[in-house]
Amino acid sequence: MIPVTSAKSWNEKEAIELLRNKSHKIHNKKDLDLLIDKIGEAKIVMLGEATHGTHEFYTWRTYISQQLIKKKGFDFIAVEGDWPDCYRINQYIKGKAREIKVVEVLKTFNRWPTWMWANWETEALAEWLYQFNLDLPKNKRIGFFGLDVYSLWDSLDAIMDYLQKNDPEALKEAQKAIQCFEPYKTDDGTSYAYATQLVPNLCTEPVINLLKEIREGLPHRDGNSEHVFNAEQNALIAVNAEKYYRAMLKGGPSSWNIRDSHMEETLERLLELHGSNSKAIVWEHNTHIGDSRATDMIDEGMYNIGELVRTKYGKENVFLVGFGTYNGRVIAGNSWGAAMHDVEVPDAKQNSWEYLLHQAGPDNKLLFMDEFSQTAFSHKRLGHRAIGVVYRAAYESYGNYVPSILPERYDAFVFIDKTKAVHPLHITPYDVQMPDTYPFGF
């Protein structure tokens, strides 16, 4: 485990002064245009968040994304969300589902935590994307896609629906996969994980055969490349979700790594779908987009999509932007599957990055990490706040800070001193379903 460096041991006063002098004050969203300029010609821009329930993380990322789309020609936004749900947003913003309102599309996000995407802030983004797409040719419209692996049952249902309409003969492989998983559908997938302890690779072959069938057959049966991609992606989710189930009970980093590898693979496939010159905007938690090699994750054998993308595409083609806050409010649950609450986020603990940034002044700040590369921060591992969907503020100091070298973890960092909670569309989450798998909370 990488120790968290005590700020006082290396002159806290000088560190605060350094942050004060080198940070760029943000008084309004237009001040974020400095970031747009700094991003340059990057192919992939990843926008993080320190929580899954903070209003400003959504609205500021929306502004940045709008500018990247308008000024830099980015092709799509990919988020830490389920593929089938996000694909419905994609269909909506491209004008293919206007018979219903976007709020109704977002309310179909009914797996806990519903507030991550079923919120007012995402509704505003989706409406902007729809309006922007009206002036674009159909094959050039901006997309919205989910990168995550938590949608096994919905993905299998989507495959069945597609094959029934387009290729009834290919239904056999899909039915084999569904029949294999059927006994375990009534719970969150834990029973399948336990079953694989007795029969390893229980449903591995059916989902692999399903993916093979779709990859070999569908491109010849359907001229719509995005429809083909959608069917193949749902089959890929079935394969990787099955891997995730088998890794769940083993502990260690394997389940985390399977998830982030799936997200990186999905991003790569989306870039290929959109052409060799395509550009992607990614919205995920800091724990995913911030290079894991600059944290204690590396000691645990864990990696993330930020590290994988930097390695694959080159640091010069990837721009990672972290987000943080000193205090405020957040939407979260106090246990897995619990009702959502508007929770107070206390002052960041002493010796953390967020504490130092607040001590440098209550202004919102933008930091460019190349300006800190030859400073006292170059190799200092300090606690960096990370709040998941499960959050108990009373225990925050015990598990909500990731030891991080910020100049190596990100290319830029956006610090919002005081934040508000996101605005959920599900006012009371009585109709939520449990997710197919247990994530780490980020």
Beta strand ranges found along 8-93 (DSSP E)? 24-26, 44-47, 76-79
Which pLDDT does position 220 carry in this prediction? 52
Domains of the chain: 7-146+279-419 (3.40.1660.10), 152-253 (no CATH)
Which pLDDT does position 292 carry in this prediction? 98
Do 113 and 434 form a contact (C-beta atoms < 8 A)?
no
The four Cα atoms 47, 91, 124, 330 give a dihedral, to 10 degrees, of -50
Which pLDDT does position 38 carry in this prediction? 97
Which pLDDT does position 326 carry in this prediction? 98
Q: Mean pLDDT in each 10-residue stretch from start to end of the chain (442 residues)?
A: 49 91 93 96 98 97 98 98 96 83 89 93 96 94 96 89 80 84 73 75 84 71 73 92 83 90 97 96 98 95 97 97 98 92 95 96 96 84 95 88 96 98 76 38 50
Would the CA dihedral through 153, 154, 158, 164 be positive or negative? Answer: positive
Cα-trace Rg, the chain: 22
Q: Residue for token digits 């100091």? A: 397
Which pLDDT does position 245 carry in this prediction? 82
**Contacts by 34-40 with C-beta closer than 8 Å and gap 24+?**
34/366, 35/64, 35/321, 35/366, 35/412, 35/414, 36/64, 36/67, 36/68, 36/71, 36/72, 38/319, 38/368, 38/411, 38/412, 39/68, 39/72, 39/319, 40/319
Distance CA 119, CA 429 (A): 12
Q: How far is CA 193 from CA 189, 244, 322, 435, in A?
A: 7, 9, 34, 14
Question: Looking at the whole model, is its pTM more than 0.75?
Answer: yes
Which pLDDT does position 92 carry in this prediction? 94
Which pLDDT does position 97 carry in this prediction? 67
**Pairing, β 44-47 against β 318-332:** parallel
- Residues 6 or more apart whose Cβ sits within 8 Å of residue 41: 72
- Read off the tokens for 256: 């985390």
Distance CA 295, CA 108 (A): 36
